[in-house]
A and B are shown apart, each in its own frame.
Chain A
Amino acid sequence: MRLDDPKLKKIEPPKLSLADRFYLPQVAAGLKVTGEHILGVIFKDQAFTVQYPEEQHVPSPVYRGVHRLNKDEEGRPKCVACMLCATACPAHCIDIVGATAPESWPDREKYPESFVIDELRCIYCGMCEEACPVEAIELTGLYDLTGLSREEMIFDKTKLLSVFDVTRDAEPMKFTTPPPAGTGPTQALESPVS
């Protein structure tokens, strides 16, 4: 870029008035601002602090926290082991081993024999949730995910299903109407979703 380029916008620093250059009026103005905040917290309870263990922060409905595997009303995992979430996952943290569904489950061909999510690799982007054709995987509002070891943070199918049990009352499934029939693996899933 040339210096005489007409598109070049020249920005001058603002000229300080005499009072500004004495600092003190500006210092007083700054003291007023912080003073208002200090007195506001003391007398008007302005603080944003949440007293954590006693008070719990409620995240917004679209918050993306720990995953859960939804169950249908018979208590079976809704997952049909189609691998779309594992394919969509940019962090490759989902590991599914599919198996042929038992004879007693006529509505699907496959079910996940093992469904493992590495919660430490996950970037909580929500792509799995978007990819899932049967609304089997969802991100919940649980944000206080802790553990004492890396192994502990690898959630298997049982754990993910138990997350559903913990959160089903507070957070009903995001899609309560079944998706339109005739679309891929959901074809056979005709029972209304709880």
Chain B
Amino acid sequence: MTIWVLIGILIKILIVVGVTQGTVAYLILVERKIAAYAQDRIGPNRCGREVGVPFALLQPLADGAKMLLKEDVVPKYVTKPLYILAPWIAIATAMVGFAVVPFGPVGPNELINFQIAPNVDIGILYVMAVGSLAVYGVILAGWASNNKYAFIGGLRSSAQLISYEIPLGLSILGMVMIAGSLDLNRIIAWQDAHGWGIFYQPLAFVLFFTSAFAETNRLPFDLPESEQELVGGFHTEYSAMKFGMFFLGEYLHIITACFVTVALFFGGWDMPGLNVEQTGILWSLLKVGVFAAKVGLAILFIMWIRWTLPRFRYDQLMDLAWKSMIPLALINLVATAGVVQLVRTYWS
């Protein structure tokens, strides 16, 4: 019996890894397309035309092949073990986060639990903890490169991530308190019964999403990279697939962040007409589709933001976190706690 459970989990891992890596490849194409559209260009549209594939759908394959086939330069002056370890940390931490992300409905009545490790009580805490480990990849890369630009990038990253962890953590606590659980599935189930989280915690949503940008090193908070000032930031000295792994890690991180955002504030698989009682395999697949569509929209929004806002200056970045977002998150937390307590005392 247990062996079948193990095999089932392995199959799930394989599917999740395969699908997410494929998604990342195509997200890069989507990103390039959106970049082009925002700048009144057309973007990649040739790759694959000769063999009849439209919309440059073979472009990700070409990009991936390029990453794999390029010369992997390891400069002489780097601290080699850490230099080689850093991209692996970046990608591993991004992958490990997927263990508790629910891709669809999870529950005792479901035929398939769309989660690699179902019903983990600390769900959201685990995602946060693993997500913040990703900074080690960036810092080690910056430090091991023995390059001042890379080092500044790594330092910025550490300061930035430490600052933005706080509002990120504080802003999810509101939803956790309202739903009464850290388990993402129970948070989604609560939203299914009572309405989406964004209607209860709009401020927390704004804070969470903004911090998520900083966590994933996306513009307008991509100070660790900041091409214009730091060459390439922490990945200045990286080439070929080692660079590709940082890239992959960043996009995986975006996918995780969007899954968590949708699960916390947009009801996960919930839509009007869908509820917890519908358990058949078709209903499950429909819910997975709804969830994926919402996540896709969130990712598109993140890309749209990237081509809209310029990068923050470093002092503005720190001001925003410490002087605005953390106080707001604290106010939101206290107010939510008060309201939740009142409601529990007098209305139930």
Contacts and interface: CB of A to CB of B under 8 A. Distances in A.
A38 B36 CA distance: 8
A51 B41 CA distance: 11
Contact of A30 (B34, B39, B309): B309
A40 interface: yes
Given A27-B309, A31-B304, A33-B308, A38 B37 contact: yes
Q: Is the interface of A mostly helix, strand, loop or mixed?
A: helix
Nearest to A48: B40
B307 interface: yes
Contacts of B206: 24
A46 interface: yes
Contacts of A19: none
Given A30-B308, A30-B309, A34-B308, A49 B42 contact: yes
Interface string A1-39: 000000000000000000000011001001101110110
Which interface class (under 10, 10 to 19, 20 to 34, 35 or more) fits B? 10 to 19
A41 B304 contact: no
Interface hub of A30, A31, A34, A37 (most chain B Cβ within 10 A): A34
A47 B40 contact: yes
A37 B40 CA distance: 6
A37 B38 CA distance: 5
Contact of A41 (B40, B305, B308): B40
B304 A42 contact: no
Given A24-B206, A31-B304, A34-B304, A41 B309 contact: no
B308 A48 contact: no
Interface residues of A, number: 18
Contacts of A41: 36-37, 40-42
Contacts of A38: 34, 37-38, 304
Contacts of B309: 27, 30
Contact of B37 (A23, A24, A42): A42
A189 B88 CA distance: 78
B305 A40 contact: no
Contacts of B320: 23
| Listed residue (A24, A33, A38, A49) with the most chain B CB atoms within 10 angstroms of its CB | A38
Contact of B308 (A27, A40, A47): A27
Contacts of B308: 27, 30-31, 33-34
Contacts of A49: 41-42
A30 B304 CA distance: 10
A49 B308 CA distance: 20
A55 to B, nearest CB: 12
A38 B39 CA distance: 8
Interface of A: 23-24, 27, 30-31, 33-35, 37-38, 40-42, 46-49, 51
* 4 tightest A-B CB contacts, nearest first: A38-B37, A49-B42, A41-B37, A30-B308
Interface of B: 34, 36-42, 206, 304-305, 307-309, 320
Given A30-B309, A33-B308, A38-B304, 13 more contacts: A34-B38, A34-B307, A37-B37, A37-B39, A38-B34, A38-B37, A41-B37, A41-B42, A42-B37, A46-B40, A47-B36, A47-B41, A51-B42
